[in-house]
Amino acid sequence: MTDCIFCRIATGDIPAQIILEADSWVAFHDLNAQAPQHALVIPRRHIATLDAATEDDRALLGELMLAGAAVARHLGCAETGYRTVMNCNADGGQSVYHIHLHVLGGRRLAWPPG
């Protein structure tokens, strides 16, 4: 999808501060950080929302979660704690329609989040 900013980051057409990457996903620093450590983990393949995911995406979704844990370890916030969040659609806070997992850490996170 050529007009999707995350697809363009995944292909390297738009630069990003890459943290980790694999064949099926890429993790990078969020430009609008909401915590001292705030990364996004995206699949390289375009899936607009979590609701658009299918049974065929089950393994990929699991990879994203494991990638989130690897990113937290890499950023040094796994031991003290971190949060993973995947927003879905406008009322859920999704602003870029390419699924992405937020990994937030580096400070105590409040609950409820918003």
Least Cα distance to 72 among 43, 99, 35, 114 occurs for: 35
Any residues with CB less than 8 A from the CB of 113 and at least 6 apart, and which?
A: 83, 85
Sign of CA dihedral 19, 20, 23, 25: negative
Q: Active-site residues: which are they? A: 100
Element (H, E) at 81: none
Element (H, E) at 84: strand 82-85
